[in-house]
Amino acid sequence: MPDEPRDPRDRADDTAPTLAVVGHPNKGKSSIVATLAADGSVAIAPRPGTTIRADRFPMRVEGELLYTLVDTPGFENARRVLDWMRRNDPGVDRRHEAVRAFIQQHRDDPAFRNEVELLGPLVERDAPVGVLYVVDGSIPYSDEYEAEMEILRWAGRPRMALINKIGSADYTGPWRTALDQYFSIVRSFNAVAAPFDKHLELLRGFGELREGWAGPMRHAAEVLETQRREKRRTSARQIAGMLADMLTLTESKTLSQGDDAAPHKEALQSKLRGRLRQLERRCRQGVEETYGHGGLEREEGDVESQELLTGDLFSEHAWVLFGLRKKHLVLAGAAGGAATGGVIDASVGAASFMAGALVGAVVGGGLGWYSAGRVAKIPTRSRWLKGALRGAVGGKKLICGPIRNVNFPFVVLGRARYHHGLVAGRNHAVQGVLKVAYDESDTGKLNPLSGEETRTLSRLFAKLGRCRPDSEQVQPLVDQLADRIAALL
C-alpha cells in the first residue's frame, strides 16, 4: 500500500474543484466570479471594498456541483504580511504553514482583515483549492504586486493568473512577463465582454492546474455547453409559441342593432395591438429568465433604439429595420401562398392537378411584392351570426385580425432574434440595465435570412395562420418552427 502524502491537501482529487479568486482591490475579481458562476447576486461595484469577506458561489446544473468559486476581498497590506511570513519562515517545504500561522495569529486584527479573509480558503484541508489571481491589464505593472504574488506562492496552491483589462489602455505585455515568473498559466479574460466559448476555454484551462482536475473541468465545460444548447432550444420554443399566438390572434365584438362599426373597429384594433405587445413582452421575459437574467431592466436612449425593442410593432422604422427586403418578400409570399394552396389541393384530391398550390404561389408572390415597404394593417371584417336576421339585435359580429401581411411574422422574428442575441451574450458581470444601441450601418442586417430559410419559414407561417388556435395541427407546426428558429439563434 503506498504511503499517504505528507499534506492531505496535496493529494489528487476528482471532486469538484474550488477556485479562490484573489488580487488587488477593484480589479474585477467579483466580475470574474459573477460571469463564471452565472450568478447575478455577486456584489459588484466600481469602488474598492465592496467585497469584505470570502463568499462561495457554487456552480450547479440540475443539482450537480461542477465547481465552486470563492469571491475574496482585495489585498491591502501585502508587504507587511510578507514581512511577517519571512520572519517566521519554517523552510521552503513548509511555507504554507506560515500562511496558516499568520491567519491564526491575526484573525482578530482589523489591520489584516482582508488578508485573513482571502487567505483562509487557501489553507483549507478538506477540499482541493486553486488560486485565480486577477490583475487589470489596462494599468501599468508595478512592483507593489510582487508581495501579493509571493504570498500566493508561499500558500503552495496551484495558481493561474487572469489579465482582466478593464480600461482602454493596454499593458498586457509587461504584465504577462511578470506573471509568467509566478504562475504556471496566464490567460487574458474580459469578465464583462468575453463570449461563452471563452468561458468554456477558461474552464478547461483550470483543468491543467492540478492532477485530477482535467476530467471534472472538461465535464463541467460539456455540461455547460449542453445547458447552453438547451437554453437556445427553450428560447426558440418560446419565440415559436409567440409567433403562433400572434398569427392566429383575433378580437371580436357582437354589435347591436344600429351600432356604427367604425368606433368599434378602432377599439378592437387598439386592443389587438395591445395583446400583441403583451405576447412579445411575455416572450422576452421568458427568454431573459431562461438565461438567468430575470427582472432585467431595459434602457433605450433614442427613438431609433426604442423602436428596436419597445417601439410599436407597426411603426415604419421597425419594419425597415427588421422586415424582409423586396426580393425575399416575393419568395416569402410565393412560398406561403403555395403552402395555403396546397391545403386546397389536399382537400379536393388529385382533381385540382396542384392548381391550388400554383395559384397560391402566384397570388402570394404578388402580395409579397405589394407588402414591400408597407406596414401591416389589421384587417377587420363583419359576419352575420348563424340564424340571425339582418339588423337583428346581436346578430352581427365584428372580427379584427388575424394579421395576414407576409412581412409581419418576419418583423416579429427579427425583433425576437435581436433581443435573444443581447440577452444570450450578456454576462452576469453586467448588472446594470440592458442598454440598446443601434448603428445605422446595420440597416438590413438585423434579420439576415437566406432564400431557403425565407421560403421554409413562410410555409410554416402560412400554415399556422390558417389554423384555429385550438387545432391539433398547431403544436406540430410550432415544433417545426422552433427547430428552424433554434438553428437561427
Q: In three state form, how does the secondary structure of 416-465 look?
A: HHHHHHHHHCCCCCCCCCEEECCCHHHCCCCCCCCHHHHHHHHHHHHHHH
Query: Do 274 and 174 share a structural domain?
Result: no
Query: Do 265 and 187 share a structural domain?
Result: no
What CA–CA distance (Å, rounded) separates 209 from 391? 83
234 within domain boundaries: no
The helix/strand/coil state of 302 is coil
Report H helices in 291-324. Answer: 303-309, 316-322
What CA–CA distance (Å, rounded) separates 429 from 413? 28
Residue type, 28: G
Query: Do 283 and 186 share a structural domain?
Result: no
Strands 251-255 and 396-400: antiparallel
- Answer with the one of 190, 212, 234 that is the final residue of a domain: 212
Query: Do 260 and 199 share a structural domain?
Result: no
Q: Is the Cα torsion angle 152, 155, 160, 164 positive or negative in sign?
A: negative
- Answer with the one of 212, 231, 263 that is the final residue of a domain: 212
What CATH number does the domain containing 80 carry? 3.40.50.300
Residue 180's alpha-carbon distances to 75, 95, 176, 206, in angstroms, are 20, 21, 6, 16
Domain of residue 18: give its range: 8-212
179 within domain boundaries: yes
Residue 254 pairs in a beta bridge with 397
pLDDT score, position 335: 53
Q: What percent of the chain has pLDDT over 90?
A: 47
Residue 397 pairs in a beta bridge with 254, 383
How much of the chain is helix, strand and coil, in % rounded to 5? 50, 10, 35
Query: Do 261 and 208 share a structural domain?
Result: no
What CA–CA distance (Å, rounded) separates 237 from 241? 6
Residue 467's alpha-carbon distances to 49, 207, 459, in angstroms, are 59, 52, 13
Query: Do 162 and 108 share a structural domain?
Result: yes
DSSP-derived letter for residue 163 is: E
417 within domain boundaries: yes
343 within domain boundaries: no
Query: Do 123 and 15 share a structural domain?
Result: yes
Query: Do 193 and 259 share a structural domain?
Result: no
What CA–CA distance (Å, rounded) separates 156 from 158? 7
Half-sphere exposure at residue 315, Cβ-oriented, CA atoms within 13 angstroms: 16
Query: Do 312 and 187 share a structural domain?
Result: no
The helix/strand/coil state of 312 is coil
342 within domain boundaries: no
- pTM (2 d.p.): 0.82
49 within domain boundaries: yes
**For the purposes of burial, counting CB atoms within 10 Å of the CB of 213, is it exposed (0-12), middle (13-18) or buried (19 or more)?**
buried
pLDDT score, position 470: 83
Size (the chain), residues: 489
Smallest CA-to-CA distance from 309 within 393, 417, 406, 216 is with 417
pLDDT score, position 173: 95
228 within domain boundaries: no
Q: Is the Cα torsion angle 195, 199, 200, 204 positive or negative in sign?
A: positive
**For the purposes of burial, counting CB atoms within 10 Å of the CB of 301, is it exposed (0-12), middle (13-18) or buried (19 or more)?**
exposed
Query: Do 202 and 107 share a structural domain?
Result: yes
Question: What total of structural domains would you count in the chain?
Answer: 2
pLDDT score, position 336: 46
Residue 188 pairs in a beta bridge with 163
Query: Do 137 and 85 share a structural domain?
Result: yes
- Answer with the one of 156, 185, 212 that is the final residue of a domain: 212
What CA–CA distance (Å, rounded) separates 64 from 54? 22
Residue 237 near residue 480 (C-beta atoms within 8 A): no
Query: Do 166 and 34 share a structural domain?
Result: yes
338 within domain boundaries: no
Q: Is the Cα torsion angle 236, 237, 243, 246 positive or negative in sign?
A: negative
pLDDT score, position 3: 40
Helix axes 355-371 and 326-348, enclosed angle (nearest 10): 150
Question: pLDDT tens digits for the chain (489 residues)?
Answer: 334 343 433 333 457 899 999 998 888 888 999 899 988 877 665 555 556 688 999 999 999 999 999 999 999 999 999 999 999 999 999 999 999 999 999 999 999 999 999 999 998 766 678 999 999 999 999 988 999 999 999 999 999 999 999 889 999 999 999 999 999 899 999 988 999 999 999 999 999 998 889 999 999 999 999 999 999 999 999 999 999 999 999 888 887 766 777 888 888 888 998 899 899 989 999 999 999 998 887 765 444 555 555 556 666 666 666 766 544 454 444 554 444 444 444 444 444 443 433 333 333 333 333 344 444 567 777 765 555 444 444 467 888 888 888 888 988 998 899 889 989 999 988 877 776 555 555 555 566 788 888 889 999 999 998 888 888 889 999 999 999 999 999
